[in-house]
Structure 1
Amino acid sequence: MITNTELEYKGNLYPNTIVEFHRDTDKLYFTTSNGVILELTILRDSILRFRYATENIFEPDFSYSISENVSIGFNHLKVEETATEYLVYTAKLKVLLDKKTLRTQISDLDGNIINEDELGFHWEENYEFGGNSVKMSKITQNAESFYGLGDKATHSNLKGKRVSNWVTDQYAYGKDQDPLYKAIPFFIGLHNNKAYGIFFDNTFKTNFDFAHERRNVTSFWADGGEMNYYFIYGPQMSQVVKAYTNLTGTPELPPMWAMGYHQSKWSYYPESNVRAIAKNFRKMRIPCDAIYLDIDYMDGFRCFTWDKSRFPNPKKMISDLEEKGFKTVVMIDPGIKIDKDYWVYQEAIENDYFCKRADGAYMKGKVWPGECNFPDFTNPTVREWWAELYKEMMSEIGVHAVWNDMNEPAVMEVPTKTAPLDTRHDFDGHPCSHRKAHNVYGMQMVRATYEGIKKYVYPKRPFVITRAAFAGTQRFSSTWTGDNVATWEHLWIANVQAQRMCMSGYSFVGSDIGGFAEQPNGELFARWIQLGVFHPFCRVHSSGDHGDQEPWSFDDEVTNIVRKFIELRYQLLPYLYTMFYRYSKEGVPMLKPLVHFDQEDHQTHFRTDEFIFGEQILVCPVQEPNAQGRRMYLPRGIWYNYWTNEAVVGGMEKWVVAGLDKIPIFIKEGAMIPKYPVQQYVGELEIKELVLDVYYKNGVETSTVYEDGQDGYDYKKGRYSLRNFNLKGKPNELLIQQFKDGSFITSYETFKMNLHGLPFKIKKIQVDNEFVDLKDVKLNGNNNIHVSKDFTLLHIIGA
């Protein structure tokens, strides 16, 4: 064991003896004789911030990640001192700090160790760039598992893995390739049925080792900046994820059309091609809400311009498409073509908005337009300028949404694929090099885009997409998993990435359905659609180099399967919208790996394929060719097979039949799943009746349906409809109680309840304690009834 009395070991420096302690309200300061200060902040009883300074100096306290709406406040804080340690107590945690080494141990109040330092904080001076490389090592607990860290294309359980965070343009990446497009330095640890999270709020390149180098040690480190991390205690994983998501923020509700099916390709042009694609969707009766224009709509790839030979009148085209129910989404990249006759370039040069190298020259790199300069989006003045650039595009031409790509930033023809490390950035008044700003460059670009779109689509809601992201980017934008490949392996990767992103606070996520690079066959495309319709962001996108990838691009069998599953997504829109409401308001992830759903069942700790869609739908994609079914794990409880209505007891692996036209979908017993009729686009139909698929349970289950105007901001004034249903089943009766909130009046007056699994024949029905004639509820055998949407208590009584 290395003791911290050896102040240097293998080039690393360590804190030594604590010589001073003082408290300032919610902050505790521990100072060592060699100038290390630990600032321990209590945000909540279960959330602690550990921030270390060396040479007695803290850097300015600034973060792009932490939400201004984070909930703080604790119930209890007490500090005790003994001869060898300090003891810090909150209402949920106990922290022990060793006086000789500054190492910490965190326990619950019953004495169970949750997390403890191994070597703890240490650092190494960086003589090349200045500052320190900062490091933290923890003891890996017995049978500990690890999850999170964003878009990693590897097994969901990170035990034994070593990964890094440096946002990178990784075209056609493979399984286990790292790093990728996003840097989300947050992970969840789980052992002894207790979960915690650590968010390492450091924008430099960060690294994580989960018992890879040494099987009993978990460590994380950064190439610069501070050792600054947040510890979040559960003990439920759901509590950890919600708390982290609250810490880094959630988006506002997007318009409902953003949750529909979207079609994209590199590239749809000219205008006649775009119109033909739209016409075919409506002719084939395949629902679709948005068509995307990639870089070829621009004049020579100059952002905020149009190629008038390909799109002579974009305003009219967009207006015509909107009449048919299509929104138009366009791409905007960060690279601005060096062209003295190009108005965007002129404005940036005149106002000194471009990034510069260390010696003052503009940072220059090749992208699609050729040689480009790059705006410094970490400068608030530049962000304001960039937001204003969207005025004409959104307000006058009528574009509905914007897609930011290549914003790592991606630079061609250089080994690093990005800007030189000596590139300078404002960093909101904290000047730095690209080493510190790289991971947040795309985040700050899409932040500026979001502000512009929000301003110029008002009073509608904004919808923005980004490829690159850092922790907290979810406040501004949806995302996708980048340039994947049309392979079965990538279908597996897409499934794991979406679950991992949702566990990392970033739920509005999807993949390029069918694969961006190369060409899927019909079977792979159908299977990918079957997964993609259960991802929060649902878009087909391809490079276009290898053939078409529209729903009708394969044979009739595939087209019909694709239509069937896109229609299912549109039926489930009120369920999906409710999922997003809970994510936005409460930080509940929209997809949940099985370990999140039931962490006490150790069978879930290494599952990758199955996930919970929302709260009550279990989905398991088929990820192998020529499959007529698959083995899957059903978590504990009773689940109804969506296709057959068979009730199945969970807690075991099971073979499920799933020919090409089906994937395993199961509904949790007691669930009430809301459905709309199939629409060709959001808002096409006035909803005359809300369908509720009710699945009997001998016991209690709650369900929620959230609705509002589907766009705009009236919901923030209370014009929403929130219905909470409490279902209670008994052997011979079913009671459903409804609790309503909000002033939004839905277009429908009745519910059609499809009843699944009733163990009795319906004899009588009471609505709000009054018996009703069975004819008045249109009882159809034992299968469905129609009741007023305003009921408070529905009592179904068996014979």
Structure 2
Amino acid sequence: MKKIASGIYKMTFGTPEAITPVSVLQPGTRFEAINALKDHPLPFLQGDIGFGPRKGSVLLDIPLEPNEEVYGLGLQLKSFRQSGSKKKLRTNSDPAADLGDSHAPVPFYVSTAGYGVLIDTARYATFFCGGCKRVGSRQDEEGFKSAGTERGHWEVKKGSGNMLVDIPAAEGVDIYIFCGDDMKDAVSRYNLFSGGGALPPMWGLGVLYRADWHANQEDVLKLARQIREDDMPCDIFGLEPGWQTNAYSCTYVWDKCRFPDERALIRDLNEMGFRLNLWEHAYVHPESPIHNELKPYSGDSYVWDGLVPDFTQPQAREAFVGIHQSTIDAGLSGFKLDECDNGDYIGNWGFPDFARFPGGADGEQMHSLMGQLYQQTMLDPFVAANRRTYGQVRASHALAAPYPYVLYSDLYEHKDFVRGMATAAFSGLLWSPEVRQTATREELLRRIGAVIFSPLAVLNCYMIPSPPWKQYDHDKNHAGEWLEDWPQLTEQCRQLLQLRMRLIPYLYAAFGKYKVQGVPPIRPLVLDYPHDREVFDCFDQFMVGDDLLVAPVVYGSGDIRNLYLPEGRWYEWSAGQWIDGGQWITRQVPVDQVPMFIRKGALIPWAAPVSNVEDGGMLELHPVLYGADEGSCSLLCDDSTSYAYQSEGLTFGTINVSGDRTVSADAVISRRYTIGDVTFVKDEA
């Protein structure tokens, strides 16, 4: 056992494999930030952990008390609290059942006892989260309990066993234990160990609109102008597969018939306040100019007749970045990195687990690490250009916190999409419940209501030529038949998206805290209230930053929303009233609203909504102080676009409201913000 930082311990069992997340990804651990935190002892000793070889695998037996609740294991769309469950963590594009398959399976779990555990493996490990009790164990001596049913059935208490982790093919493993004051502290240390949270450019927190994949250059510019004419907030304009000469697999060469001048396209979009984002995947078509150069540095199996680059090899990364460099230099803002998970359930399009790669990984290990390595590769040229990027990715794994890529899925169940926002936060992941095709006005508005409080507000309209606020019906949209009352729907969508824009300074500060402290910017209530059992299963309520509680309405659940307010006093934003916490409440929620509550004492720096965030532009703030005579808020005041913070550190400024209602601000606030009068919302209780 080795202590590596304050409250973080490494234990080695047997002979670990050479290909693991830590060894391959080499996280830039923020030791200074971790060591500034309070130290904590281990929750158990190394001798308390059982380790033993099995035929073809090794087994870890990690203590787990019956009263502990377990969360994490990456992006889990079908479950939230993992206590008593069994999960086989396997990267897969179609996690339709609650088995552990995921776009981002992460072998990290966190306990309500205030610690987290990372199993440093790229294997498809199986976690038995307290539901499997072994003969002769401590739990075995505690016996059974009666279920109290009329038939006299007996059952094992849920979660009464240890955490058992079965790791195939390995002969040993390293584990890292993160000990904190509570769950949030443990998760923060894990994120800081990974390198600190992602810090997007401020414009990345605006709205991303993806265009019809059939669109050509003229169509794209026409649609962009329409979005601006509709006064709809949008910062990022995304293209889907049609921009390339071949997309399955990819050439990474612009189709000159559809896009004759990509530099002019980027310039014209930039002049309208849009930043261009391109879809692609990493399987290299035989006609791609880099195909032959990449062949010696690729796996031994094709996907869609394309090479699979081994991004552990610098030659592969250099060639892959090279073919994108001219478009990046022209002003491209980022990428949507698709299909980097695995599709063996839907068409069997992924490379097999028995594939081999030049760097020594087999297909199983590469499936686990492919998403991370792809993100690293495509991040490098933006770092070199000193321009921050923010994009999307369809696979990730351990140590993901520093990467400015937000997960998404081709699945579309809204309840699962909302749950993904909660589960992602436990494992250093970012997730967007993006809006795609909708069948009704209610579905469109409910989905937008969830998206505006996620890490990336995405309207993925790749299947329709015109915006959904004009017509959400697929066939009628293609026929150019607008809704009779499209101006009303447009205004409802505009109001929701403008709410997102009003929160950008607040969200940007929350991401700044994620970078320097590791605290997830959007997180389920259990991370802030780990001792309140009422929130143990609340997967559809979130803290956004430290002072906002939001409870999106899941489409299909009607308009009656039951929600829980934790201890304290909360201001109900839509109703304009104060409510005591520590209770469940019920609200009827109109389709164009999202229940939002503000913590008493909070100073929220509401911004005047803008259509897009300009580089170096000033945002106008209208702070509101809730239920107090004085207060303050902290805002991130860097240049919002470059990587200068890596050498200079991040600069935060404070806005203060004193008891005599005087407003003051640090000088750095004036770099990005002008401050209007403060509004006071009194609590008469």
> What letter corresponds to residue 224 of structure 1 in structure 2?
A
Residues 260 and 569 in structure 1, CA contact (< 8 A), matched pair in contact too? yes
Of residues 202, 216, 222, the one that matches 2:160 is 216
1:447 counterpart = 2:379: no
Q: Note closer, same or farther for the CA distance 1:504–1:736 as it changes in structure 2 (3 Å cut).
A: farther
Q: 1:169 to 1:759 in 2, by over 3 A?
A: closer
**CA 1:542/1:250 → structure 2, altered by over 3 Å: closer, same or farther?**
farther
Please name the residue that 1:752 is paired with: 677
Match of 2:355 among 423, 432, 452: 423
Tell me the CA shift for residue 686 of structure 1: 4.8
Contact 1:514 1:520 (8 Å CA) reproduced: no
1:353 maps to what in 2?
Answer: 297
Q: Cα distance, 1:414 vs. partner? A: 5.8
- For residues 629 and 708 of structure 1, the distance between their equivalents in structure 2, rounded to whole angstroms, comes to 42
1:151-162 pair list within 5 angstroms = 151-162=75-86
Q: Which of 367, 378, 384 pairs up with 2:318?
A: 384
RMSD: 2.9
Match for residue 19 of structure 1? none
Select the residue among 723, 735, 745 that pairs with 2:653.
723
Q: Distance in 1 between matches of 2:326 and 2:635?
A: 38
Q: Is the 8 A contact 1:689 1:749 kept in 2?
A: yes
Q: Say if 2:198 and 2:404, in contact at 8 Å, map to a contact too.
A: no
Measure how far apart 1:464 and its partner are: 3.5
Q: Which residue, 542, 554, 577 being the options, matches 2:508?
A: 577
Match for residue 405 of structure 2 among 478, 482, 506 = 478
Q: For 2:625 and 2:346, how far apart are their aligned partners in 1?
A: 57
Letter in 2 for 1:676: A
Residues 164 and 206, structure 1, Cα contact 8 Å, conserved in 2 = yes
1:487-506 deviation per Cα after TM superposition (whole angstroms, max 9, x unaligned): xxx22211111121122112
How far the C-alpha of 1:758 sits from its partner, in A, is: 5.7
1:785 aligns to what? none
One of 318, 327, 334 as aligned partner of 1:401:
334
Give the corresponding residue for 1:6.
none
Work out whether residues 695 and 756 of structure 1, in 8 Å CA contact, stay in contact via their aligned partners in 2. yes
1:754 maps to a residue whose letter is T
Could you tell me how far apart the structure 2 residues matched to 1:584 and 1:720 are? 9
1:295 corresponds to which of 214, 229, 241: 241
**Unaligned ranges ≥5, structure 2:** 134-158, 473-482
SS at match of 1:381: helix
After TM superposition, give the deviation of residue 482 of structure 1 in Å: 1.1
Instruction: Kindly tell me the number of residue pairs found equivalent between the two proteins.
Output: 640
1:239 matches 2:185? yes
- How far, CA to CA, are the matches of 1:659 and 1:244 in structure 2? 39
**Could you tell me which residue of structure 1 aligns to residue 103 of structure 2?**
181
How far the C-alpha of 1:560 sits from its partner, in A, is 2.1
Task: Tell me the equivalent position of 1:710.
Answer: 640
Distance of 1:174 and 1:60 partners within structure 2: 28
User: Partner of 1:185: helix, strand, or coil?
Assistant: strand
Measure the CA separation in 2 of the matches of 1:72 and 1:337.
Answer: 45
Does the 8 Å contact 1:146/1:189 carry over to 2? yes
Structure with higher strand content:
1
Q: Tell me the equivalent position of 1:552.
A: 470
Distance 2:345 2:589 in 1: 44
Write the distance in 1 (CA, Å) between the matches of 2:303 and 2:281: 13
The 1:91–1:187 alpha-carbon spacing in structure 2 relative to 1, beyond 3 Å, is closer
Query: Per the alignment, do residues 715 and 103 of structure 1 end up closer, same or farther by CA in structure 2, a change over 3 Å counting?
Result: closer
Alignment partner of 1:460 is 2:387: yes
Residue type at the aligned position of 1:615? D
Which residue of the partner structure matches residue 607 of structure 2? Answer: 676
Change (3 A) 1:197 1:747: closer
TM-score (norm 2): 0.86
TM-score (norm 1): 0.75
Give the whole-Å Cα distance in 1 for the aligned partners of 2:559 and 2:344.
44
SS in structure 1 at match of 2:376: helix
More helix, by proportion? 2
Separation in structure 2 between the aligned mates of residue 95 and residue 651 of structure 1, nearest angstrom = 29
Greater RCO, CA 8 A, separation 6+: 2
- Deviation of 1:252 after TM superposition, in Å, equals 5.2
Answer whether contact 1:160 1:212 (CA < 8 A) is retained.
yes
Q: What is residue 302 of structure 2 aligned with on the other side? A: 364
Q: Which amino acid aligns with 2:78?
A: T
Q: 2: CA distance between counterparts of 1:701 and 1:599?
A: 26
Residue number in structure 2 paired with 1:636: 567
- Structure 1 counterpart of 2:160, one-letter code: N
Residue of structure 2 in register with 1:52 after alignment: 13
CA contact (8 A) 1:66 1:247 kept: no
Select the residue among 696, 711, 727 that pairs with 2:627: 696
Deviations 1:129-155 (A, max 9, x none): xxxx12112343123211112211123
**Distance 1:674-1:264 versus aligned 2 partners, 3 A rule:** same
**Alpha carbons of structure 1 residues 230 and 727: separation in structure 2 relative to 1, 3 Å:** farther
SS of 1:63's equivalent in the other structure is helix
Quote the Cα distance in structure 2 between the aligned partners of 1:461 and 1:74: 25
Per-residue CA deviation, residues 648-680 of structure 1 (Å, 9 max, x unaligned), is 101000112311121211111111111221111
DSSP 3-state at the match of 1:752: coil
- Where 2:74 maps in the other structure, the secondary structure is coil
Q: Which has the larger radius of gyration?
A: 1
CA deviations 1:714-755 (Å, max 9, x no partner) are 555759752335678xxxx56778673x75742555432111
Change (3 A) 1:683 1:637: same
Distance change >3 Å, CA 95–CA 495, structure 1 → 2: closer
Q: CA deviation at 1:230?
A: 0.9
CA contact (8 A) 2:498 2:609 kept: yes
| Distance in 2 between residues matched to 1:256 and 1:688, nearest whole Å | 11
Quick check: 1:68 aligned with 2:28? yes
Structure 1 distance, partners of 2:555, 2:407, is 23
Query: Is it true that 1:499 corresponds to 2:444 in the alignment?
Result: no
Matching of residues 9-48 of structure 1 within 5 Å = 40-48=1-9
What's the secondary structure of 2:411's corresponding residue? coil
After TM superposition, give the deviation of residue 206 of structure 1 in Å: 1.4
CA–CA separation in structure 2 for the residues paired with 1:265 and 1:410: 25
Q: 2-side partners of 1:213 and 1:549: how far apart? A: 51
**Residue number in structure 2 paired with 1:256:** 202
Show structure 1 runs of 5+ residues with no match: 1-39, 76-89, 105-116, 127-132, 357-362, 761-799
Match of 2:230 in 1: 284
Percent same amino acid at aligned positions?
A: 20
CA distance in 1, matches of 2:342, 2:271: 36
Residue from 425, 432, 443 that aligns with 1:524: 443
User: What is the Cα deviation at residue 425 of structure 1?
Assistant: 2.2
Check if 1:148 corresponds to 2:93: no
Which letter does structure 2 place at the counterpart of 1:512?
E
Distance change in 2, residues 1:651/1:727 (3 Å): farther
CA change 1:283–1:419 in 2 (3 A) is same
**Residues 480, 696 of structure 1: alpha-carbon distance in 2 compared, 3 angstrom cutoff:** same
Distance 1:613 1:213, change over 3 A: same
Residues 634, 256 of structure 1: alpha-carbon distance in 2 compared, 3 angstrom cutoff: same
Equivalent pair of 1:527/1:660 in contact (CA under 8 Å): yes
Equivalent in 599, 609, 634 of residue 540 of structure 2: 609
